[in-house]
Structure 1
Amino acid sequence: MAKHVNLIKLSVGTESVADLAAWQKTRQALAADGNPRHVTRMFPKRVDEILDGGSIYWVIKGIIQCRQRILSLDEVDRGDGIRRCAIVLDPELHHTAASPRRPFQGWRYLKPEDTPPDLSTKRANDDALPADLSQALADIGVL
């Protein structure tokens, strides 16, 4: 049994994995180390488990489509007294098997046994299916 835990997060306003990658590249300029960050108001309590091999799984258009390894969780101070967490991510996006998810707010913990498998590198470059077709196929268990 894996000791790590993952996070799952909606990528609001993103149309595809390529959109997410493009957005993160524009944000990378803000980080001294060049790694993308996602800043959230809630700081995870299970830090050690996340940093023991956890990833963030991105829900795009109602479907988990990719993941990124979490490198660190850094406290962010914007001078307003609100404690925030910067989830520091590996820039490499790993495409995953499509897995439908209902909308939710913020992030959630995701157990390793509940995560979709990564796609092979050969399939990661396949053209994306239209969101409605991908959703329908995932609903019946084909994707």
Structure 2
Amino acid sequence: MKNHIHLIKLSVGTETVDDLAAWQEKKRVQTEDGFPHHVTRMWPKREPEILNGGSIFWVIKGVIQCRQKILRLDETSGADGVRRCAIVLDPKIIRVQGSLKRPFQGWRYLAPQDAPADLPEGRDHEEPLPIELNRALAEIGVL
């Protein structure tokens, strides 16, 4: 079994997985070699584990809805000259079984055993359950 860890991050400003995909297709959020990336202030201390098979799980509208494999971490700096981390992602967005997640700042580590499962083939474009129904199912232990 691989020794890896995932990241989890709020996708601020997106309403759907399709919004996230459209945002990532813009040149300004791509690396020079054409991969989407997300720039963050903090450099993950668990870099080797992340690069050993980790993904970033995206929380959209309070629900973990999808993930992308993390390809590498690039050093970048903003106009202010401060060193930042560009999390370089596989462009393929994999939808996962919806799981409620409360808001949080920045990114967090997500253990593989706590990550939601990928949706089976053919179900990857299903709409997620309404948040109220998802919450009610989680409260009774179904999700």
Alpha-carbon distance, 1:43 to partner: 0.6
1:46 aligned partner, one-letter code: R
Are the counterparts in 1 of residues 99 and 134 from structure 2 also a CA contact under 8 Å?
no
Structure 1 unaligned segments of length 5 or more: list them. none
CA distance in structure 2 between the partners assigned to 1:100 and 1:29 by the alignment: 27
CA distance in structure 2 between the partners assigned to 1:37 and 1:68 by the alignment: 10
Q: In the TM superposition, what are the counterparts of 1:1-143 in structure 2 within 5 Å?
A: 2-27=2-27, 30-142=30-142
Are the counterparts in 1 of residues 69 and 89 from structure 2 also a CA contact under 8 Å?
yes
**C-alpha deviations, 1:56-88, integer Å up to 9, x for none?**
000000010000000000010225231100000
Which has the higher mean CA deviation after the structures are superposed, 7-16 or 129-138? 129-138
Task: Using structure 1 for the length normalisation, give the TM-score.
Answer: 0.89
Q: 1:136 to 1:60 in 2, by over 3 A?
A: farther
Which has the higher mean CA deviation after the structures are superposed, 80-89 or 57-66? 80-89
CA distance in structure 2 between the partners assigned to 1:131 and 1:34 by the alignment: 34
**Partner secondary structure for residue 119 of structure 2:** coil
CA distance in structure 1 between the partners assigned to 2:80 and 2:28 by the alignment: 23
Cα root mean square deviation, aligned = 1.8
Task: Using structure 2 for the length normalisation, give the TM-score.
Answer: 0.89
Which has the higher mean CA deviation after the structures are superposed, 72-81 or 130-139? 130-139
Identical counterparts, % of pairs: 62
Are the counterparts in 2 of residues 59 and 101 from structure 1 also a CA contact under 8 Å?
yes
Q: 1:54 to 1:30 in 2, by over 3 A?
A: closer
2:112 aligned partner, one-letter code: P
Q: How many residues align?
A: 143
Q: 1:45 to 1:14 in 2, by over 3 A?
A: same
